[in-house]
Structure 1
Amino acid sequence: MSDIQPQPDDADRHNAKMAKKKAARDKIMATKTEEKGLVIVHTGKGKGKSSAAFGMIFRCIAHDMPCAVVQFIKGGMSTGERDLILAHFTDRCAFHTMGEGFTWETQDKSRDTEMAQAAWATAKELIADPGNRMVLLDEINIAIRYGYVDVAEVVAFLRDEKPPMTHVVLTGRNAAEELIEVADLVTEMELVKHPFRSGVKAQAGVEF
């Protein structure tokens, strides 16, 4: 520990600076009074898109807010989030795994399209139910990118039929510009480093 202690004038300047910053922030926060259901997009090449989305789902569960998950691409493999929700929280979170794996695994476009369309039909029902406060559409951006689901239809539904207090989260790389335009909150995960490039496989607790 350093023996150098801040001089009183340094402490006073710091306290005054923090007080000024707090006053400015409080003034800004006082203007933020609206509540609304948000359209939230997680995209980009970096890891964490679905992880962050599931973090919000677990927040909803903790607040006793009904919510739902529709997985568009990922198959029936065991994941921590899915197993935990199905084991303990089905009363608050409906969970639908509608995909059969990534397209390079299935290698069957017609089947992938059929499954994605079924997932979108389920998603629309869940979103239209005003009892659901949040609906996660996991990897829908991939389904849209490959043409399994029409982006114009998704945008129109979110704009015209989503209940006003329902949050909808859409994840996956390469989010369509039309989705980004209609969204209230967009986060792009940037890839800086990834252990996969060094030969490290996906691991429980990190990737699934």
Structure 2
Amino acid sequence: MSDEDTARHNAKMAKKKVAREKIMATKTEEKGLVIVHTGKGKGKSSAAFGMIFRCIGHGLPSAVVQFIKGGMATAERDLIERHFADLCEFHTMGEGFTWETQDKARDIELARAAWEKAKELIRDETIRMVLLDEINIALRYDYLDTDEVVAFLKTEKPAMTHVVLTGRNASDAVIEIADLATEMELLKHPFRSGVKAQAGVEF
């Protein structure tokens, strides 16, 4: 890179830095966010657990309620329960995906119990972030009433509490109240090539 190219690059970056700092100076508000991770792509729960671990890293109390996933061991749950139980409550309330349980009445009962636990945790203002893992699936199958969940988040969530909702097919109503909504798009998946779920990637 020539001296002229270097000088041009440095001038461009300096200009960009000034513009960025000007934008950042206008961002002064803090609030608890409603965050939605949805879509057919992999990574919805993984990204949400990344935020849980950030909270743990900052010493901020957090909690996880899993609506669908059942008794199968997961690295996230094992790690949290073994090392960070003082900072993060972990509640696995489901018994597996609907095609495994084959008992809709039981699935609805468990989803309702998970939602009651979720409300209890969200109302606790000492908890900074609550992850509702796979709740979008429970809502899509009408195990829970979407209007009830939306109304609760709008009216009862404490001002500084972050709530993260994961799962495919998030409803328009849930996305509407979200402060941050991300859709994971599937481009390629190893399942299609006959590769099974593997430790460290899927669980």
Tell me which interval the TM-score lies in, with the shorter structure as reference length: over 0.9
1:79 equivalenced with 2:74 (yes/no): yes
The alpha carbon displacement at 1:112 in A equals 0.1
Alignment equivalent of 2:183, drawn from 188, 196, 204 = 188
The alpha carbon displacement at 1:8 in A equals 1.4
Task: Specify the alignment match of 1:35 in structure 2.
Answer: 30
Task: Specify the alignment match of 2:121 in structure 1.
Answer: 126
Task: State the distance in 2 between where 1:37 and 1:150 align.
Answer: 23
1:68 equivalenced with 2:66 (yes/no): no
The alpha carbon displacement at 1:97 in A equals 0.2
Task: Specify the alignment match of 2:17 in structure 1.
Answer: 22
The alpha carbon displacement at 1:9 in A equals 1.3
- If the length of structure 1 is used for normalisation, what is the TM-score? 0.97
Task: Specify the alignment match of 2:163 in structure 1.
Answer: 168
The alpha carbon displacement at 1:82 in A equals 0.3
CA RMSD of aligned residues (A): 0.4
For 1:95-134, list aligned pairs within 5 A.
95-134=90-129
Letter aligned with residue 184 of structure 1:
D
Number of matched residues? Answer: 203
SS for the counterpart of 1:136 is: strand
- Structure with the greater alpha carbon radius of gyration: 1
Per-residue Cα deviation, 1:6-36 (whole angstroms, up to 9, x for no partner): 2211111111000000000000000001000
Question: Any stretches of 5+ residues in structure 1 without a counterpart?
Answer: 1-5
Identity %: 78
Task: State the distance in 1 between where 2:22 and 2:3 align.
Answer: 28
Q: Which runs of 4+ in 1 moved over 3 A?
A: none
Alignment equivalent of 1:179, drawn from 168, 174, 179 = 174
- If the length of structure 2 is used for normalisation, what is the TM-score? 0.99
